[in-house]
């Protein structure tokens, strides 16, 4: 199965991609996670991407396209994959079409999660991430000195640099101007599944799985 999970920043793409990858035994490829890891490790890619990612802009298409091409050729993707955060521009969508035509001709699904900007701003302003293992938690759910429920680290929760209010606004602007039009490109290239992203995490997963099973 080949899936693109699509939608605004903070709509729940990463959350749902992790659940689906585990339930359907697919590789989860998040270009955002790959870039953040490169920034943390100060690799050549990380040094190029740092300022762009932290201000909410888009890393050049050929860089991200190259990362995705290389990743999709790996053994872990043989059973199928979920792309999270890619494609984000029309040139990236064209790059993906070329990569997939060289790989195989399997059916492609595009899952679009939907939520208004005010829901997004509230979610992202309250998101904290464990600096040790990447576990995501809502600020309100975190007690003083709480240990990370995933890796047990203490006082490890931090805000992502791009979750500051001004950067969130810029990410939403970039999404509406540049990424949203990519949805149109897939109307005749993928099976489209649209899901209300404002329901609970469990309800969103159930809606996605029901729709995937009925297609």
Which residues form the catalytic set? 13, 88, 127, 160, 171
Q: How far is the CB of 113 from ligand AP5 (least distance, A)?
A: 7
CB nearer to ligand AP5: give 14 or 110.
14
66 is in an annotated binding site: no
Asked whether residue 88 is marked as a ligand-binding residue, the answer is yes
Question: Can you say how many angstroms the Cα of residue 129 is from the centroid of all Cα atoms in its chain?
Answer: 15
User: Is 6 known as a binding-site position?
Assistant: no
To ligand AP5, the closest distance from the beta carbon of 187 in angstroms equals: 20
User: How far apart are the C-alpha atoms of 69 and 62, rounded to whole Å?
Assistant: 10
CB-wise, 109 or 128, nearer to ligand AP5? 128
CB atoms within 10 A of CB 19: 19
Give the separation between CA 198 and CA 12, rounded to whole angstroms. 9
**58 or 100: CB nearest ligand AP5:** 58
- β-bridge pairing 157-158 and 191-196: unpaired
Q: Output the CA torsion sign for 183, 189, 194, 198.
A: negative
Q: Is 13 annotated as a binding residue?
A: yes
Q: Which residue is nearest to ligand AP5 (CB)?
A: 32
Strand ranges for the chain from DSSP E: 2-6, 27-30, 81-84, 108-114, 127-130, 136-138, 157-158, 191-196
Pairing of strands 136-138, 127-130: antiparallel
Q: Which residues of the shown chain bind ligand AP5 in the complex (CB under 6 A)?
A: 9-15, 31-32, 35, 52-53, 56-59, 64, 85-86, 88, 92, 123, 127, 136, 138, 162, 171, 200-201, 204
Nearer to ligand AP5, 3 or 59 (CB): 59
Q: How far is the CB of 11 from ligand AP5 (least distance, A)?
A: 5
Considering the complex, state which of residue 37 and residue 105 has its C-beta at the smaller distance from ligand AP5.
37
Contacts of 198 (CB under 8 A, 6+ apart): 114, 115, 116, 119
119 is in an annotated binding site: no
Neighbour count for residue 38 (Cβ, 10 Å):
20
Instruction: State the minimum distance, in angstroms, from the CB of residue 15 to ligand AP5.
Output: 3
| Minimum distance, C-beta of residue 160 to ligand AP5, in the bound complex (Å) | 7
Q: Is 148 annotated as a binding residue?
A: yes
- What sign for the dihedral angle of Cα 140, 141, 144, 150? negative
Binding-site annotation: residue ranges for AMP: 31, 36, 57-59, 85-88, 92, 160, 171
Binding-site annotation: residue ranges for Zn(2+): 130, 133, 148, 151
């Amino acid at each position: 199965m080949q899936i693109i999970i699509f939608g605004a920043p903070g709509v729940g793409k990463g959350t749902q991609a992790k659940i689906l990858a585990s339930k359907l035994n697919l590789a989860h490829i998040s270009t955002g996670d790959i870039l953040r890891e490169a920034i943390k490790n100060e690799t050549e890619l990380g040094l190029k991407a740092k300022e762009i990612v932290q201000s909410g802009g888009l890393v050049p298409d050929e860089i991200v396209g190259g990362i995705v091409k290389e990743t999709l050729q790996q053994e872990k993707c043989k059973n199928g994959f979920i792309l999270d955060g890619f494609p984000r521009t029309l040139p990236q969508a064209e790059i993906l079409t070329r990569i997939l035509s060289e790989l195989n001709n399997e059916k492609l699904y595009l899952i679009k999660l939907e939520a208004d900007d005010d829901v997004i701003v509230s979610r992202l302003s309250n998101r904290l991430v464990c600096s040790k293992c990447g576990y995501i938690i809502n600020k309100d759910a975190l007690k003083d000195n709480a240990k990370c429920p995933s890796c047990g680290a203490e006082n490890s929760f931090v805000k992502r640099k791009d979750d500051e209010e001004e950067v969130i606004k810029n990410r939403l602007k970039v999404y509406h101007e540049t990424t949203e039009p990519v949805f149109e490109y897939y109307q005749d290239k993928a099976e489209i599944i649209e899901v209300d992203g404002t329901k609970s995490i469990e309800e969103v997963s159930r809606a996605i799985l029901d729709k995937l099973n009925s297609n």
